[in-house]
């Protein structure tokens, strides 16, 4: 067992800070040991790869490796003025906004609806049905969409045999954002309700009873009890979502890119893939990725700061409120 | 006016003998619908080309080829094929290979008698990775970024910085193959010099084995039986008649469209209807040269017209609705099952593939050479690059390289041999049965175990036109190719070198293809093509032209 050095050498003076730290370590040693594997995993798979970002400053060739590729300074960042990059950035921002406005609130609404169902059985069945699509891979979702709405899909074949004009949803630039947003809502809304349902179940039923005794209707209960009860989790998830702001469904979009074309469908992730891995422009692609990461960090920290200003816990308790 | 550079085999050889820097430009040859490998050597000392030693005893062709590159055609397999090799080339070790496939993936080695027999005959434990053609570029990029490089790697669309990649990871075969050294591998020596010179001579060495292409196999294929069933004639003499036929056979209500696709969806090469229209208009094959000046087909005003024509085909509903999202295999399938009537599906050769995928015994495949777009159009077929792809061999110790070359040599056994018959059709009684004249009729087992296997993408002999069981289709193919070979046009940049080309071509070509596809789909107005051309010129197109001009001047 660890024997505290302080006990053996009481004559040595230590600062209060070290004393306190040692005390905490001793107290929490079991928990710390349990955390070690997780910390190692995060270091290995999250922090060590960050070092790879140096290739943003190299003319990187994978067959030469980081040590033999030549250094080019900031040259790779010239790509930031490339029209194709700006187009990808524009698409990404638009899709992000659409998804924050339309996709993010969807599970909240569904959770509230589910919560208002009285029959437990119906609730469970509906919930299971809504979960299902989450377990389909994007390849499946895109294939189903194509079978349904593609040029020779069920809908268009039916229209054609009825001699009606066909509806080219899959290959249309105008419908692309609608299409992918619909897919995301269909696939992931049910899954995302889990957290909200959990939060709803934590709200004290007594509050509702008290409110209804005071004569509050369902809408007032929703506004004054349910939504305030969900506020912390909504803000937490919103902040996390902002951190992912510039990640907008890489797989989903890449799979549908050939049909709709680059102009409407290129987003930062596919731009990095098409330029870096396919085009061999590894350095420039890494530069874009690096920038994207920095923007994500700024958004998360910024949003967290704002949450603290409003007295919300955010991602973590601010150091001031913790004391 | 542009001068069409009609490249024939003799002019290649002349250029080679004159000591010209025979270096390849361009990653993609448009007409084939997928890229082809071209070679490029750096300045400085260069290895001698492997000596061409024709293997004796070539069987007489049923329909002979010609000096312009038309392949010999055979209507049946030569009788009593002889075994030309003795002993086993391998040393019993594991050999890995990565090749592309346009066909369904074959069953694993445990359930695949062909694979087991291949391992026995080659004396290796072959571990094949067959990658669907549409995914090959991305798969290749990730495999090259890893340290786990297969022994044999097929390169078709050349990756960026290809010469550097070869130098870093692949064996320079010059010590084993240069000059007369190749005689140790008689079937590799049976590959004519111009295949080597235009595809694998990089960095002053020899970085692979060329997989010969058919010079011109992707003309416009037509389902003759479907056309005739409608009481029409599957032929036309000008573009208006082609359009008339297309409208007549188009029947979307019954899920039958006139044309498979307009542009290659994965790499956006001008295959499909776009390639056909370009050839009908007489647009040069990628690069053209006039008085030492080089110009690309992108800047040719007729290319813009061709894009507009394709956009109209799409708008008129003559093109299969999934033309922009499918892959080569889908286009072949659509024709084989009658969803589309005409098309240039791309790939090495589509003819056998149609028959593998078809369920209709009535299917007959004909075709057409390019026809004049307007009365004064100089319609010409586009030749492909000589090599369809090249096979790189991973760096290793000389003993292992020799063993791998022996394996490749075995696979390159010429047409007419027992080895060729096995590599292509498998074992008698399992994968094929002899018909009355001794021709191998492929069984369903043969189709599933061999078609997508990919051995001929590791090494193969010079091409002949032969597919068992469809002698009529082969005869027709030979006839159509013969009619277009003499006036066909090559890529003027072939055999020249441009560094920018090696680095940027594939990406530039994709950007242009995207711009063209957007217009064809009706997403963008035709005027956007001019911007695309201007961008192409400033982002490397003009630079490539200048470098080609320098290279051309140096070779004179």
Check whether B32 has a pLDDT greater than 50: no
Supply the pLDDT for residue B47. 87
> Does residue A249 or residue B268 have the better pLDDT?
A249
Nearest by CB to A171, which of B252, B324, B507?
B324
Per-residue pLDDT of B504-555, as tens digits, reads: 777 788 789 888 998 998 888 999 999 999 999 998 999 999 999 998 998 7
* B370 Cα to chain A: minimum distance (Å): 28
- Residue A191 burial (CB count, 10 A): 15
Least confident interval from A101-115, B8-22, B235-249? B8-22
**Cβ contacts of residue B189 below 8 Å, gap of 6+?**
B50, B51, B52, B53, B55, B182, B183
Strands (E), chain A: 58-59, 70-71
Per-residue pLDDT of B221-240, as tens digits, reads: 999 999 999 999 999 999 99
Tell the burial category of A36 from Cβ atoms under 10 Å away from its Cβ (0-12, 13-18, 19+). exposed
CB pairs under 8 A between A and B: 85
Check whether B462 has a pLDDT greater than 70: yes
Whether residue A63 and residue B320 make contact (CB cut-off 8 A), yes or no, is no
Closest residue by Cα to residue B322 from A228, A227, A260, A181: A260
Whether residue A166 and residue B321 make contact (CB cut-off 8 A), yes or no, is yes
Determine whether domain A57-322 maps to CATH 3.40.640.10.
no
> Where does the pLDDT of residue B502 fall: very low under 50, low under 70, confident under 90, or very high at 90 and above?
confident
Nearest by CB to A64, which of B137, B160, B168?
B168
Rounded Cα distance, B441 and B426, in Å: 11
DSSP letter, residue B4:
P
Q: Check: CB of residue B435 under 8 Å from CB of residue B478.
A: no
Answer whether B9-66+74-214+386-485 and B220-383+503-540 agree in fold.
yes
Length of chain B: 556
Please state the rounded mean pLDDT for residues B185-196. 94
Length of chain A: 323
Instruction: Give the chain A residue whose CA is nearest to the CA of B512.
Output: A262
Supply the pLDDT for residue B30. 31
Instruction: Give the chain A residue whose CA is nearest to the CA of B504.
Output: A279
What token pair was written down for B12?
Answer: 């290649």
Supply the pLDDT for residue B347. 66
Nearest by CB to A263, which of B144, B169, B523?
B523
Interface of B with A (CB under 8 A): 137-138, 141-142, 144-146, 159-161, 164-165, 168-169, 252-253, 255, 265-266, 320-325, 339, 506-507, 510-511, 514, 517-518, 521, 523-524, 535
pTM of the model: 0.81
Chain B within 8 Å of A263 (Cβ-Cβ)?
yes
Instruction: Give the chain B residue whose CA is nearest to the CA of A147.
Output: B322
Rounded Cα distance, B219 and A44, in Å: 54
Show residues of chain A in contact with B507, CB under 8 Å. Answer: 275, 279-281
Rounded Cα distance, B483 and B537, in Å: 36
Rounded Cα distance, B553 and B433, in Å: 56
Domain boundaries, chain A: 57-322
Rounded Cα distance, B467 and B461, in Å: 15
Reported ipTM: 0.76
> Does residue B168 or residue A320 have the better pLDDT?
B168
Least confident interval from B155-164, B394-403, B477-486? B155-164
Closest residue by Cα to residue A94 from A175, A15, A177: A177
Q: What percent of chain B lies above the pLDDT cut of 90?
A: 58
Q: Check: CB of residue B268 under 8 Å from CB of residue B517.
A: yes
> Does residue A261 or residue B319 have the better pLDDT?
B319
- Positions in chain A short of pLDDT 50: 1-3, 6, 321-323
Interface of A with B in 209-228 (CB under 8 A): none
Q: Best mutation site among B322, B503, B512, B520 for testing chain A: the one with the most A CBs within 10 Å? A: B322
Rounded Cα distance, B452 and B465, in Å: 19
> Where does the pLDDT of residue B267 fall: very low under 50, low under 70, confident under 90, or very high at 90 and above?
low
Supply the pLDDT for residue B42. 38
Check whether B401 has a pLDDT greater than 50: yes
Supply the pLDDT for residue B19. 30
* A277 Cα to chain B: minimum distance (Å): 6
Supply the pLDDT for residue B138. 84
Check whether B2 has a pLDDT greater than 60: no
Show residues of chain A in contact with B535, CB under 8 Å. Answer: 83
Q: What are phi and psi of A245, to 5 degrees?
A: -50, -40
Show residues of chain A in contact with B319, CB under 8 Å. Answer: none
Please state the rounded mean pLDDT for residues B399-419. 96
The topology (CATH level 3) of B9-66+74-214+386-485 is: D-Maltodextrin-Binding Protein; domain 2 (3.40.190)
Nearest by CB to B322, which of A151, A163, A279?
A151
Are β-strands B209-212 and B152-155 bridged in parallel, bridged antiparallel, or unpaired? unpaired
Show residues of chain B in contact with A152, CB under 8 Å. Answer: 255, 320-322, 339
One-letter-per-residue 3-state SS of B73-104: ECCCCCCCCCCCCCCCCCCCCEEEEEEEECCC
Whether residue A280 and residue B160 make contact (CB cut-off 8 A), yes or no, is yes
Nearest by CB to B137, which of A62, A168, A278?
A278
Please state the rounded mean pLDDT for residues B437-445. 89
Per-residue pLDDT of A83-142, as tens digits, reads: 889 999 999 999 999 988 999 999 999 999 988 887 889 988 998 999 899 999 999 999
Q: Best mutation site among B134, B140, B141, B257 for testing chain A: the one with the most A CBs within 10 Å? A: B141
Rounded Cα distance, B294 and B285, in Å: 12
* A248 Cα to chain B: minimum distance (Å): 21
What token pair was written down for B155?
Answer: 């390169």
Nearest by CB to A262, which of B142, B144, B514?
B514
Nearest by CB to A259, which of B146, B160, B324?
B324
Q: Which CATH superfamily is domain B220-383+503-540 in?
A: Periplasmic binding protein-like II (3.40.190.10)
Nearest by CB to B521, which of A62, A166, A261?
A261
Check whether B43 has a pLDDT greater than 50: no
Instruction: Give the chain B residue whose CA is nearest to the CA of A154.
Output: B255
Show residues of chain B in contact with A251, CB under 8 Å. Answer: none
Rounded Cα distance, A10 and A21, in Å: 17
Domain boundaries, chain B: 9-66+74-214+386-485, 220-383+503-540
> Does residue A248 or residue B277 have the better pLDDT?
B277
Are β-strands B340-343 and B257-259 bridged in parallel, bridged antiparallel, or unpaired? parallel
Show residues of chain A in contact with B266, CB under 8 Å. Answer: 258
> Where does the pLDDT of residue B31 fall: very low under 50, low under 70, confident under 90, or very high at 90 and above?
very low
Check whether B484 has a pLDDT greater than 60: yes
Rounded Cα distance, B351 and B470, in Å: 9
Check whether B436 has a pLDDT greater than 90: no
């Amino acid at each position: 067992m660890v024997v505290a050095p302080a006990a053996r050498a009481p004559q040595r003076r230590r600062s209060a800070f070290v004393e306190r730290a040692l005390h905490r370590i001793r107290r929490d040693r079991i928990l710390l040991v349990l955390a070690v594997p997780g910390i190692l995993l995060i270091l290995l798979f999250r922090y060590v790869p960050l070092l790879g970002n140096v290739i943003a400053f190299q003319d990187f060739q994978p067959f030469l490796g980081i040590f033999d590729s030549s250094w080019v300074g900031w040259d790779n960042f010239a790509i930031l003025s490339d029209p194709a990059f700006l187009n990808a950035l524009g698409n990404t921002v638009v899709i992000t906004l659409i998804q924050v406005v339309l996709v993010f609130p969807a599970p909240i609404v569904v959770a509230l609806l589910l919560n208002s169902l009285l029959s437990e059985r119906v609730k469970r069945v509906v919930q299971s049905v809504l979960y299902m699509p989450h377990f389909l891979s994007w390849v499946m979702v895109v294939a189903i969409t194509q079978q349904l709405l593609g040029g020779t899909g069920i809908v268009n074949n039916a229209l054609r045999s009825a001699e009606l004009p066909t509806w080219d949803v899959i290959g249309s630039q105008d419908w692309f954002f609608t299409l992918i947003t619909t897919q995301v809502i269909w696939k992931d809304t049910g899954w995302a309700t889990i957290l909200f349902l959990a939060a709803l179940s934590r709200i004290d039923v007594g509050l509702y009873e008290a409110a209804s005794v005071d004569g509050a209707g369902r809408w007032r209960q929703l506004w004054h009890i349910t939504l305030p009860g969900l506020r912390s989790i909504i803000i937490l998830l919103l902040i996390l979502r902002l951190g992912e702001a510039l990640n907008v469904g890489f797989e989903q979009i890449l799979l549908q890119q050939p049909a709709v074309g680059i102009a409407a469908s290129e987003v930062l992730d596919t731009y990095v893939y098409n330029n870096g891995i396919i085009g061999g422009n590894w350095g420039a692609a890494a530069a874009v990725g690096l920038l994207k990461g920095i923007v994500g960090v700024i958004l998360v920290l910024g949003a967290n700061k704002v949450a603290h200003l409003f007295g919300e816990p955010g991602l973590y308790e601010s150091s001031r409120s913790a004391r | 006016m542009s001068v069409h550079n009609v490249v024939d085999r003799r002019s290649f050889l002349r250029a080679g003998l004159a000591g010209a820097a025979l270096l390849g430009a361009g990653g993609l040859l448009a007409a084939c619908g997928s890229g082809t490998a071209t070679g490029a050597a750096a300045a400085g000392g260069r290895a001698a080309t492997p000596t061409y030693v024709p293997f004796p005893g070539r069987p007489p062709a049923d329909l002979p080829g010609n000096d312009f590159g038309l392949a010999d055609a055979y209507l049946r397999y030569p009788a009593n094929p002889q075994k030309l090799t003795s002993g086993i080339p391998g040393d019993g070790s594991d050999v890995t290979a990565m090749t592309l496939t346009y066909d369904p993936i074959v069953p694993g080695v445990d359930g695949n008698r062909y694979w087991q027999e291949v391992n026995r005959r080659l004396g290796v434990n072959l571990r094949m990775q067959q990658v669907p053609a549409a995914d090959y570029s991305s798969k290749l990029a990730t495999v090259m970024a890893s340290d786990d490089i297969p022994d044999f790697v097929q390169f078709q669309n050349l990756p960026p910085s290809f010469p550097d990649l070869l130098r870093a990871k692949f064996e320079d075969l010059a010590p084993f193959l240069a000059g007369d050294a190749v005689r140790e591998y008689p079937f590799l020596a049976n590959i004519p010099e111009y295949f080597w010179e235009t595809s694998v001579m990089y960095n002053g060495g020899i970085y692979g084995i060329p997989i010969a292409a058919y010079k011109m196999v992707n003309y416009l294929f037509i389902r003759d039986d479907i056309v005739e069933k409608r009481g029409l004639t599957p032929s036309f003499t000008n573009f208006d008649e082609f359009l008339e036929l297309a409208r007549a056979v188009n029947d979307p209500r019954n899920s039958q469209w006139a044309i498979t696709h307009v542009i290659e969806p994965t790499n956006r090469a001008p295959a499909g209807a776009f390639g056909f229209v370009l050839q009908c208009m007489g647009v040069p094959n990628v690069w053209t040269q006039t008085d030492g000046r080089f110009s690309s087909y992108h800047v040719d005003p007729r290319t813009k017209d061709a894009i507009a024509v394709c956009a109209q085909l799409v708008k008129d509903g003559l093109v299969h609705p999934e033309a922009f999202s499918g892959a080569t295999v889908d286009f072949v399938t659509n024709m084989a099952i009658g969803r589309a009537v005409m098309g240039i599906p791309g790939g090495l050769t589509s003819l056998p593939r149609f028959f593998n995928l078809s369920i209709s015994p009535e299917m007959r495949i004909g075709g057409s050479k390019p026809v004049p777009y307007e009365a004064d159009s100089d319609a010409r077929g586009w030749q492909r690059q000589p090599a369809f792809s090249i096979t790189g061999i991973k760096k290793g110790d000389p003993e292992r390289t020799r063993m791998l070359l022996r394996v490749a040599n075995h696979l390159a056994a010429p047409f007419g041999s027992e080895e060729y018959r096995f590599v292509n059709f498998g074992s008698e009684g399992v994968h094929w049965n002899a018909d009355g004249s001794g021709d191998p009729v492929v069984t369903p087992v043969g189709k599933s175990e061999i078609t997508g296997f990919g051995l001929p993408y590791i090494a193969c002999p010079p091409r002949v036109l032969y597919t068992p069981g469809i002698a009529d289709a082969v005869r027709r193919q030979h006839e159509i190719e013969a009619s277009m070979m003499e006036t066909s046009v090559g890529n003027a940049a072939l055999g020249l070198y441009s560094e920018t080309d090696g680095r940027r071509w594939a990406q530039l070509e994709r950007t242009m293809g995207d711009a063209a596809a957007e217009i064809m789909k009706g997403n963008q107005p035709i005027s956007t093509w001019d911007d695309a051309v201007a961008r192409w010129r400033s982002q490397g197109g003009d630079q490539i032209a200048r470098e080609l001009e320098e290279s051309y001047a140096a070779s004179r």
